[in-house]
């Protein structure tokens, strides 16, 4: 299992270099076996990159296109008594700890490690800055296991120098609902990157997940590993173009002035949809029904119940925003949209320290067009002073991306399943799962 993103590579938080509409190109929603195989060949020239993954129960490149291999679990569960009972060995100066994310002190330590050492873009201009509130939300869903929040300390100084997490999730693959772990936040302190701690962290979180009788996992990475179930692209919609250009997130398009650019991305002051409002606790059952019905159409998607919806989608300040459309006639909830807040530290600017980014989460359109719904979401995000709105080309997002002046980023995000094989690579539009 791996983390949500490779610890030293970005899934394009630096963004689209040309947020001007004059430079849009087609992201290519079709992911062909041929193009994936070509990427694989390019990556294999990097030598030993995949030695670890070739020992794991994951789809292997050599099996691509082999229709005789069945879908489903690659290895069957073993007896729990046969799962390694003791933690894996660490180099002598280090020790394992379980990170109690209920503790403000522990949460601050984890925040500090990630804020200084987690995912940066390729040019080292931006670094993800998950807030403490976000981390507590992301790591404590219904039924979470504290033992899956794993840290590595220096024995002598007690300094936290590495981290990895898992959370439980019910994920439907075609018609089968599988209890999985979502593995995320693999982070090793910059000074220890040569110590080969990452594979030990992955093996240790896998061991602890197996101890709970869970044998599959989902994760993402910004690099090609064996073997993605799909490859997605980030798209970026400028909300504060002057700031984005000033800090190098985007640049002025050809033949564009700053004033023309600001006019291009200007949004209305008010939302357009009658009955558009913030989600409230009493909406949970209706939103759950709407979301479950919508997600049925995708090959891989979460199997949310009301407890999940309450946790993941009820608004939390500076963490997650959710809105819905309640019919003015009968208050029936017909549409839903949401985004989460993930700022990035700006590393090279004298004028700005933080980039406030919104990330599209789950959106359901039944009566209101998805285009109008998402335009209303952009208006709300702009009012709340977000600088940029990001969206993957998953689910039905492709409907609104170009129309609403999103520009394609230059990074890819690859989705993976551990110990579960799909016969064919999915189109990103067949994926109904967003991992934080």
For 119-166, the pLDDT digits (tens) are: 888 888 999 999 999 999 999 999 999 999 999 999 999 999 999 999
Q: If you average pLDDT over residues 249-267, what whole number do you get?
A: 93
Task: Give the pLDDT score at 399.
Answer: 97
- Kindly report the CATH number that applies to the domain delimited by 231-414: 3.40.630.170
| Lowest mean per-residue pLDDT among 3-17, 328-342, 359-373 | 3-17
pLDDT at 12 over 60: no
The answer to whether residues 409 and 236 touch, using CB atoms and an 8 Å cutoff, is yes
User: What's residue 347's pLDDT?
Assistant: 94
Alpha carbons within 13 A on the beta-carbon side of 382? 19
Which residues have a catalytic role annotated? 436
Q: What whole-number distance in Å separates Cα of residue 427 and Cα of residue 364? A: 19
Write the pLDDT tens digit of every residue in 13-56: 223 322 233 333 333 434 454 455 555 545 444 444 577 888 89
C-alpha to C-alpha distance for 343 and 131, rounded to whole angstroms: 8
What pLDDT, on the 0 to 100 scale, is given for residue 322?
A: 98
Tell me which of 21-35, 245-259, 261-275 is least confident.
21-35
Q: Rounded mean pLDDT of 319-326? A: 98
Q: Are 425 and 375 in contact (CB under 8 A)?
A: no
Report the distance separating Cα 428 and Cα 232, nearest Å.
Answer: 6
pLDDT of residue 157: 97
Mean pLDDT, to the nearest integer, of 329-357?
95
Mean pLDDT, range 342-364, rounded to an integer:
96
The fold of 31-224 is Aminopeptidase (3.40.630)
Q: What is the pLDDT of residues 379-408, one digit of tens each?
A: 999 999 999 999 999 999 999 999 999 999
Average pLDDT, the chain: 89
Domains 31-224 and 231-414 share a fold: yes
pLDDT in tens, 88-121: 999 999 999 999 999 999 999 999 999 999 988 8
- Decide if pLDDT at 262 tops 60: yes
pTM of the model: 0.89
Query: Which pLDDT score is estimated for 22?
Result: 30
Q: Where are the domains of the chain?
A: 31-224, 231-414
């Amino acid at each position: 299992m791996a983390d949500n993103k490779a610890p030293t590579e970005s899934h394009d938080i630096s963004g689209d270099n040309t947020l001007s509409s004059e430079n849009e190109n087609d992201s290519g929603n079709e992911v062909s076996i041929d193009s994936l195989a070509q990427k694989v060949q390019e990556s294999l020239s990097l030598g030993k990159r995949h030695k670890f993954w070739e020992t794991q129960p994951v789809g292997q490149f050599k099996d691509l296109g082999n229709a005789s291999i069945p879908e489903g679990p690659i290895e069957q569960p073993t007896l729990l008594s046969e799962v390694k009972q003791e933690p894996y060995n660490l180099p002598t100066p280090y020790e394992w700890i379980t990170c109690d994310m209920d503790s403000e002190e522990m949460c601050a330590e984890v925040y500090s490690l990630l804020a200084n050492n987690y995912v940066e873009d390729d040019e080292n201009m931006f670094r993800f800055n998950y807030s403490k509130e976000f981390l507590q939300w992301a790591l404590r869903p219904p039924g979470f296991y504290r033992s899956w929040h794993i840290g590595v300390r220096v024995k002598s100084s007690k300094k936290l120098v590495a981290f990895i997490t898992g959370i439980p999730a019910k994920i439907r693959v075609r018609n089968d609902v599988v209890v999985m772990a979502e593995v995320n936040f693999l982070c090793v302190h910059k000074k220890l990157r040569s110590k080969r701690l990452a594979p030990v962290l992955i093996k240790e979180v896998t061991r602890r997940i197996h101890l709970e009788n869970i044998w599959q996992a989902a994760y993402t990475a910004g690099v090609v590993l064996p073997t993605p179930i799909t490859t997605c692209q980030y798209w970026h919609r400028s909300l504060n173009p002057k700031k984005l250009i000033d800090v190098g997130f985007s640049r002025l398009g050809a033949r564009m002035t700053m004033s023309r650019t600001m006019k291009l991305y200007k949004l209305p002051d008010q939302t357009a949809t009658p009955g558009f409002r913030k989600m409230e606790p009493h909406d949970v059952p209706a939103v759950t029904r709407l979301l479950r019905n919508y997600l049925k159409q995708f090959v891989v998607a979460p199997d949310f119940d009301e407890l999940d919806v309450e946790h993941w989608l009820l608004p939390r300040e500076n963490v997650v925003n959710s809105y819905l459309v309640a019919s003015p006639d009968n208050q029936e909830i017909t549409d839903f949209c949401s985004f989460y807040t993930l700022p990035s530290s700006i590393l090279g600017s004298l004028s700005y320290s933080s980039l406030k980014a919104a990330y599209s989460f789950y959106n359901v359109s039944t009566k209101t067009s998805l285009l109008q719904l998402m335009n209303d979401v952009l208006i709300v995000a702009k009012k709340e002073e977000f600088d940029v709105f990001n969206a993957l080309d998953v689910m039905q997002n492709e409907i609104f991306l170009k129309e609403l002046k999103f520009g394609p980023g230059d990074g890819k995000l690859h989705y993976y399943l551990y110990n579960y094989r799909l016969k064919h690579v999915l189109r990103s539009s067949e994926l109904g799962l967003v991992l934080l």
